[in-house]
Amino acid sequence: MPAHILLVDDDAHIRQVVRFALEKAGYRVTEAGDGRAALAEWARAAADLVVLDVLMPELDGLDVCRELRSQSSVPILFLSSRDEDVDKIVGLELGADDYVTKPFSPRELVARVKGILRRTTRPPEHTQTTARVVVRGAIELDLDRNSCRYATHTISLTVTEFDLLHSLCGMPGKVYSRDELVERAYGGGHHITDRTVDSHIRRIRQKFGVHDFDPIETVRGRGYRLRESVA
């Protein structure tokens, strides 16, 4: 089955252009013209990824993102006509996985969608029955299910947050620069700001912090590392 994408934008022309590009790439697309319609479509049939405009009537994209994040870790790609860093940071703080600013190239958007879905649906390295699990102390990452556990707790991470934590778990104590983390989490060709990486790391810490635990250490001027005590 092709991946199902929920496309949410109040501009019918943009929806038409994006839908054409996504369907040409082989995806199944459902449309919604405002935030309330988007949540109704989600309740009817959950999608594999949501392409979500920020500025919309009824409910804006930020409110829709909050609601989706309260019940799901579905990947979210924000669209916005504003290029302010603060807007990007707010969206990422709410749990978006990526951000594209209007006007954009449909080809670029499809490439971003492919990248996110590729990270979400990694095939097993050996066989369908081979479980790939990374364990670092009380942290357990299931790479095939994109799921994370800490002790007896399930930690709900977005696909980007999961990939960043997986990268840090590669070698506890090793300092990874922000550029290295972007390369590992997003792949090549992405121009992601330091503040974007910081926002994702902050959200990971917040989610573990609910259980009075912080697995990540900031190394000023260099980047981040998984605390050696974790392993």
The CATH number that applies at residue 67 is 3.40.50.2300
Quote the DSSP letter at residue 141.
Answer: E
Please tell me whether residues 80 and 169 are part of one structural domain. Answer: no
pLDDT digits 0-9 by tens, 129-148: 445 899 999 999 998 888 99
**Mean pLDDT, residues 157-164 taken together:** 89
Residue 82 lies in a domain: yes
Residue 127 lies in a domain: no
Q: What is residue 183's predicted lDDT score, i.e. its pLDDT?
A: 82
Please tell me whether residues 19 and 115 are part of one structural domain. Answer: yes
**Mean pLDDT, residues 92-114 taken together:** 87
* Total tally of structural domains belonging to the chain: 2
Please, what is the angle between helix 159-169 and helix 194-209, to 10°? Answer: 90
Q: What is residue 132's predicted lDDT score, i.e. its pLDDT?
A: 85
Q: Are 3 and 27 in contact (CB under 8 A)?
A: yes
**Mean pLDDT, residues 3-30 taken together:** 96
Q: What is the mean pLDDT of the chain?
A: 86
Q: Whole-angstrom Cα distance, residue 7 to residue 31? A: 5
Q: What is residue 140's predicted lDDT score, i.e. its pLDDT?
A: 94
Quote the domain boundaries for residue 64: 4-120
Please tell me whether residues 77 and 161 are part of one structural domain. Answer: no
Please tell me whether residues 89 and 138 are part of one structural domain. Answer: no
- pLDDT of 27 over the 50 cut: yes
- pLDDT of 84 over the 70 cut: no
